[in-house]
Structure 1
């Protein structure tokens, strides 16, 4: 019997190994939620080849003891609902004897990868084990939003209700381990949801994107097709023609199919001045196209300006108004961390009495830049007064330097106030007689500017056994002690 048990053990190892091998990370664009195809509701999507990968479990309402509900040989599609209603779609295999499955998720406000961990994103599914055309259609016999795995299960689910403004992901899973493709189409009888963006494509704005003015960033009014952008930059010219666009890069196109920004590079710096960016039909014979192949109008123009590199303004800080031994300077834009003199000599303080700075440092550095600087003093500012934190050239020979090496203006200052600090005092009888000792506490706190009427009080009578009567917010409170002290009273 020993040889038989050994053979069974080896067989189990082989089966486990095959199951693990079936879980393969997908690397083709469109085969992960993060790189999903953007959808135009009026278009047909044909996927000619389906690379074999995936096999990771998907969360669904279906019981799945055998682990067959997976992102097997998947492709993902993303879309937004622009008008609420019911959604109909069809997945037609190129070979009708193939088994395709699907699941729909509502990912509004979520990361795409959450579909693997959060069951609340589920909208509808069909994991039927039968072959042929599948999808969501009441006309084709869909009666439930949930159709689970197994033979004889309805290939069509009922049409899900989409919500305007919500974002969705559709997983198409190819259970048959071939690479034959399919066609995905949206719409049909009973479909009332609108997933086609009717906003016309346009340029939104353009701005300088490099210190030497050899690049500008173009913002689009919505996401558009990466594939419609001519890499040689021929979709754009500038007027006056003081430089030529030599390349165009869609932001995010290296890891997806759509973009909302384009980085243009010129053959030489653009001089300071006003320009128009002009849309052309590029060398690919189109302008920039939206997801539904509508193009930005040819000859559309948008104005932009090339300015001299501006210094980062010195205009905001945080500090304790009553006791100041440090400041947090908050800048509107990033400065170079290395331009901050560690001895604090980029700053000085003027006011009613002398103040010396001990040191200064970036609150944090990200890629060599920061927007926050901590300035520490040798001694705390206790006495009240009006002060100025003044920017100056430090021992490193400069003030704060921007990303483009432009120095912030020496002599710039930020005013701040150190407010008077209250002198806390109160009186209480030196001794009390039990039982039922009633103590009257008399507030004698003062402040040099005479604003005692603005005080708020927080008494603690040191008598925790009397909770909730152990504290008070009155100016001159009473408290009854029912046991022998002493008691530590604080205000």
Structure 2
């Protein structure tokens, strides 16, 4: 049976307040170190501790810290972590999340989702009760809910995850959350872990250190093999021996400013390391109560040697390579250097400072514990202040570049724009000033630069004006200039009232520009598109409305003074001249070619009117004249004859003629008696006609309605037999249908009658 330990309040309390808050077991910074196999929490705390929002619900399977407790441990060797959380009330739902903070801090958990190692928030539907990582499934992340397949960050399947592989030396924190919110506690058992040694019994030691590699440095960074309780480490646990000294060592850590434990500490050495050679850092402990890890294992005294082999760069600075001195003055050259142990000037003096009053080359050698350095300057004696003269104010031409030069030997310069060269290029108007300084003083000067304005002489485009108008031409230049017009006038402006070419030349000290403009005065124009008109086919109506200086706008948007009309329509133009706006319009009809077709010759039958239409076509404005002088377009035919029409308009005339024949009537005769006695006279019942009978059919019936004969041949009549025997004498009824061609038309005829058969 495994032993069970009860830990109540096993918390390394933080020794200082951070933002007036002390980490508790509900905060990552106050996590309980895992120093035994089993922990029994008799009560479940509520809330989120003093450091809320340590877990980002968007990056975790849990809803964050809800009634949480944190645990922290370091793996002593490679292996698999296993644990089971068993609620005291098996109806409670506990969630948990495990994070690897080996190379991170508690603060990083919220922003870095890669720190999450394993997480389980399954609950409900059979997922309440015990939970943990015991290898029962192969999942490492399960969200809320139960029985999801597969689970995800947002859906759970079972309350158990797979074992968690861990690496030796890595540090982990485990957050256990009571999602149910009850006050009942739980038991957490790490006994199923294999090969980890998370119950820490290892003595901590300094595992890594970063030492100074040059003289005059004063910090040493050390890292322990595991977390150290901040309250158990202090300045007295460190000592430093080596060249120079004696040294005092103070210890600090960013982690201890925010929490109760840390692995990395900074040692500050006073004074800075002053010499080359071998040093020894000592970790001093009493072996029981000082420098304790999270499970109270004490560090032992440890000696850590290191060496400094790189000399510090000794760089004395006694001034610029060229140093200036005004005649009659003195100058102090100062070679003072931190940790220097000696000075040697070119004249043999050994003070840090040297006072001089003459020109020459001065040099010093500075010796320090870590090395030596040399500096030198050349001193020039100046006899007077600089000579500066920018000259009188300037009036350059446009585009001209001026160079203002105030060069003085061994001087500095400061222009109004902050530039420091001895000369300044000028391209715009303004006030330019300079201060020139040497060892004897500063001399200032300024000059006003005012550029001539560039010429922009422009008389404008040629002009067309209405008679009686005037034109004002003004070429005034806003700077110094002279004017000369073509008539000898020398004023800048002029009033124009007559047609002509007007030219002017404007001259400044820098340039001369000429321009010319043509001015035309016109009388108010008169124009007329004319009366509405009719044109023949393919005729055009052309206009040229050119007026000097005028603009044109036709109904179709055209703006030319020339316009050709090639199709019927309404046309309008607006002409704007210097005198007025003129609007006119015209309607133009262009006739189509005449085309008349009276139709083919035909027959006139009484009772049926024939209409001859001489229509000449749309858009022809045609008139008509028939053979009898009739001028109607349509002529009504009431008798046979030859009919002629002339169709005409202003452009052409065309003729057509139609012949109307007398009506054709096809006569058909059927006898009312026949005697089939083979005497060659009236032996058959058949029709007789003066025209062909087409689609002929004849049927004969006896007096009782029985059909006794049928034929479709005109030439073959009824011979009086019925079924091969002579029919009896008597009266018979016949029916005939056929078609005849009359008046260029087919007519269907139906006839009936009776016939006496005689023997």
Question: TM-score by structure 1 length?
Answer: 0.41
Higher relative contact order (CA 8 A, sep 6+): 1
* Structure with the largest fraction of helix: 1
> Which structure has the greater CA radius of gyration?
2
* Structure with the largest fraction of strand: 2
